[in-house]
A and B are shown apart, each in its own frame.
Chain A
Amino acid sequence: MRIGIPSTLAYYEYFPFWEVFFQELGFEVVSSPTTTKAILDWGVQHTVSDACVPIKLVHGHVRALAEDNVDVIFLPRMVRVAPKETFCPKFLGLPDLIQASIEDLPPMLSPRIFLRYGRMSLFRICGQTAHSLGASPIKGLRACAKALDAWHVFLRSVRRGMTVAEALGIRQRMKNTVQGPRLALLGYPYLINDPFVSANLLGLLEERGVQVLTAEMAPPGALKRLSRQMPKNLFWHYSNRVVWAAMYYLDKGMVDGVIHVTAFGCGPDAMVSKLVELEAKGKVPFTTLSLDEHSGQEGIITRIDAFVDMLVRKKASA
């Protein structure tokens, strides 16, 4: 049996886990190809009009899997993985939204990922998922343990300074020959690491000798301590990480500038962008880079060049 996983959204955080999990159960895992114009265009045409780009993208990716004739599409309903936070409402309703918008889909497997009791809950979900695929739940637990190991290897390489795209093998390891400015490139992993939607943003920054720090590279313990300093935290998993990482990098004085990467029409980012902007105010330069289905590489290059040049000049004059 072939299990298809759309390569967007939670893929950029959990694919190494689910890949090993299903392989251990003896299934073949297929991920959709990296985003192409065709995938994006199909998504744009078939998604409710006011949705953000990432939601349109996932429609395209699910379609690509259906065309690949996978037997099951695996799209977990991400609800809660850490205490006191949840995912964006669009993630919560995603399996229902996909079912309502796309016809003739292969069966969808959408376990509800709600880790009320942390790892215990994860093991239970894995057991249930294995059972629903006709494997024994005990085998599911064993696969879960193996998958966790693989996932921790992935997390470790990200925390040692690899971008998610590098750790997943989507792009080559950055080699910084020039010692350019250090930038906090903050945004959701499914935007920054998608070479098509971000118009190869990581590559463009590499060419300009910029050293990139992303939200995933910040140590989770330090972020947790920072979260207690907030009078009130945001509600969404990815958004919180972006805000905390911004506070972390700015507090430590680790960066020369902050770029917030956002998708056009992203709801939570209306809050996040302002929060990060107010955090960076008076410390380092800040800019927002908004990506949408029409953003070409030229526009992004212009904006990055202007920002990076300004940082270089600021550093030289200091």
Chain B
Amino acid sequence: MKITFPRMGTSHIAITDLLKGFGNEVIPPPPITKRTLDLGTRYSPEFACLPFKILMGTYLEGIALGADTIVSSGGVGPCRAGFYMEMHRRILWDLGYEVETITLEPPKGHMRDLIKQVRRLIHVPLSQVWTTGLFVWRKLELLDIIEERAYYLRPRELETGSTTRALRKCLSIVRSAKDMEQLIEAEKKVEEVLAAVPIDPDAAPLKVGLVGEIYVVLEPFANGDVAETLGELGVEVDRSIYLTKWTQENAFLDFFRIPADRDAKRWARPYLDEMIGGHGIINVGETVMYSRDGFDGVVHLAPFTCIPEIVAKGILTKVSSDLGFPVMTLYLDEHTGKEGVRTRLEAFVDLMGKKRVKEQGVAR
């Protein structure tokens, strides 16, 4: 059994360790390139969203590298993503690739099924599962912290590109950590590397909240490097979703029936009072919260044809005009280019900058 899985942001570094630690042979998903997307687009329904097409391409590339099993998440709707593994399987089988699939459904209501699926992935004693789990979780947390730090450093860096270089170095340090001891060592090294980036401590950059559908928020290839571009334009980014936090709320707490994102839902209520699936309601709530927290604007990332995000966009327009708060929706599809995204972001940053000068009389 050779396993591959979807690639999303930096998480593949830790997920590879997880599956290897459980005693599987793993084909790490290759980096997402134009070729991946072209391949995926060719075999996907025209109106499937961007994540579906990227995953389709990733799976096909993984299969070409020898994978015969795919692990992915399931879901209960109403977002389409919950059906994607099943759809991908049918399309792959139709193409003649008879791959096995392992779908991890959310614990609520599917506990027995989830355990059954997870057991297919575990080929080592339970004690080792536990140590691997702890190690991988800590690694995921470190990966999230690195990204969060980079968002802080980038608008303050004195030499353009130094943060991105430091970030790459950090990721390779984390990747090479093979056990808990090395990981703790890596945490220290990462700290040193990031502290060595020269910054202007007095800078007061514009602050932008990044909301949207989880896949396109986490995967830079899917969003035309929004976070990096904003950073280089001198904007501090606050990302509303991190994988560890999201997993904690939606998998662990879900098991105990503790609802996630209670704050965001509360702030969304005047505008949208229904779980519309995906991140629809959370995005509306987070946008209101960013406005209250004194941010300068929100960039809303949505895959083209994403159903919940279309509803969210319609409502965000109203939120934006009610609160006098700049919100820009970026629809992302297979034709989105980094330069196009950059142009739109530049205009948006200009707008926020002028608004701040007008309101506070502070020049950037």
Q: Which residues of A contact B (CB under 8 A)?
A: 47-48, 50-51, 77, 79, 85-90, 92-93, 96-97, 99-101, 112, 231-232, 234-236, 265-271, 273-275, 278, 281
Contact = CB atoms under 8 A, between A and B. Distances in A.
B47 A269 contact: yes
6 contacts: A89-B78, A89-B311, A92-B275, A93-B308, A93-B312, A281-B94
Contacts of B317: 48, 100-101
B91 A274 contact: yes
Contacts of B49: 267, 270
B315 A51 contact: no
Nearest to B77: A235
Interface in B286-326: 304-308, 310-315, 317-318
A100 B80 CA distance: 24
Given A234-B83, A236-B78, A48 B305 contact: no
Contact of A90 (B46, B91, B310): B310
B83 A232 contact: yes
Contacts of A234: 77, 83
B78 A274 contact: no
B314 A100 contact: yes
B76 A235 contact: yes
Of the candidates B78, B91, B315, the one having the most CB atoms from chain A within 10 angstroms of its own CB is B78
A271 B83 contact: yes
Interface of B: 45-49, 52, 74, 76-80, 82-83, 86-87, 90-91, 94, 103, 271-278, 280, 304-308, 310-315, 317-318, 331
A101 B94 CA distance: 42
Contact of B46 (A87, A93, A270): A270
The interface residues of chain A, by DSSP majority, are classed as mixed
A270 B311 contact: no
B87 A50 contact: no
Contacts of A86: 77-78
Nearest to B311: A93
A248 to B, nearest CB: 19
Nearest to B304: A50
B80 A267 contact: yes
B83 A267 contact: no
Contact of A79 (B46, B274, B308): B274
B87 A96 contact: no
Contacts of B45: 270-271, 273-274
A93 B272 contact: yes
B77 A90 contact: no
A265 B78 contact: no
Of the candidates A47, A77, A99, A281, the one having the most CB atoms from chain B within 10 angstroms of its own CB is A99
A50 B276 contact: no
A10 B363 CA distance: 53
B90 A278 contact: yes
B307 A235 contact: no
B276 A89 contact: yes
Given A79-B274, A96-B272, A265-B305, A51 B78 contact: no
B48 A268 contact: no
B87 A274 contact: yes
Contacts of A93: 272, 274, 276, 280, 308, 311-312, 314-315
Of the candidates B49, B91, B307, B313, the one having the most CB atoms from chain A within 10 angstroms of its own CB is B307
B313 A92 contact: no
A271 B48 contact: yes
A97 B82 CA distance: 24
B311 A267 contact: no
Contact of B87 (A88, A101, A271, A281): A271
B83 A89 contact: no
Contact of A50 (B52, B273, B331): B331
A267 B307 contact: yes
A232 B48 CA distance: 18
B159 to A, nearest CB: 40
Given A88-B78, A92-B275, A235-B78, A275 B305 contact: no
A90 B48 CA distance: 16
A232 B276 CA distance: 20
Of the candidates B82, B86, B272, B311, the one having the most CB atoms from chain A within 10 angstroms of its own CB is B311
A265 B82 contact: no
Given A89-B78, A100-B271, A270-B80, A47 B314 contact: yes
